Amino acid sequence: SAAMPVLEGIGVAGKSIPRMRGKMLLHAGPPIEWKRMCGPMQGAIVGANLHEGWARNEKEARALVTAGKVRLAPCHHHDAVGPMSGIISPSMPVWIVRNSVGGNRAYSNLNEGLGKVLRFGANNDEVLNRLKWMRDTLAPTLAAALKVLGPLELKPLMAQALHMGAEVHTRNAPASGLLLMRLVPAILKSGVKAADAAAACEFIA
């Protein structure tokens, strides 16, 4: 029978994704050696090292990876997906989607938005500060909302979004808008700080 994806919640990557342990980074695409990675993917891996506090600067981050002290693995080997040069590090929040028919789960990091973002290889203070805010404020706010909302079936939202002109990939405003409509009342009922609720809604919008 067909899979029935349900948005189950938000978790911490290192605690939620199977077999993601220690200093490990998941990357988009197939298995590839560090020296063969494109510039944006290397930049994203450097940024993830800085985000995790494993390195103090780019030179230290590159040295860690080159020495094999940070393990690299494809997202797909861990039931996860990463967009573009998408990197998932242990402390990053991830969406958890469960197949209500088969019981298996898949994981995806949260969209950083537009502009300078880790998925395109940027790793300056603007990027790192946003990642920290997403981890410390956005994710707990969304997690609180999903506890109020409960598991959310995604196929009906996807079907409606397709009728609104989306293709559920790059033209994602309809799907994001439909999800936001479901999240906002739950965020307001969850008891999170008003400033956090407003910031989360503004960021998603």
Q: What is the pLDDT of residues 14-60, one digit of tens each?
A: 999 999 999 999 999 999 999 999 999 999 999 999 999 999 999 99
The residues, any chain, with a CB within 8 Å of residue 181's CB and separated by 6 or more, are none
The answer on pLDDT for 158 being more than 60 is yes
Residue 55: is it exposed, middle or buried by C-beta count within 10 angstroms (0-12/13-18/19+)?
buried
The pLDDT value given to residue 3:
82
CA distance 102 to 89: 27
Distances (CA, A) of 44 to 15, 88, 126, 173, 179: 21, 10, 14, 25, 28
Evaluate the CA torsion angle 27, 28, 31, 34 in order and state its sign: negative
3-state secondary structure of 25: strand
CA distance 125 to 50: 10
Residue 89, token pair as written in the block = 């590090």
The pLDDT value given to residue 169:
86
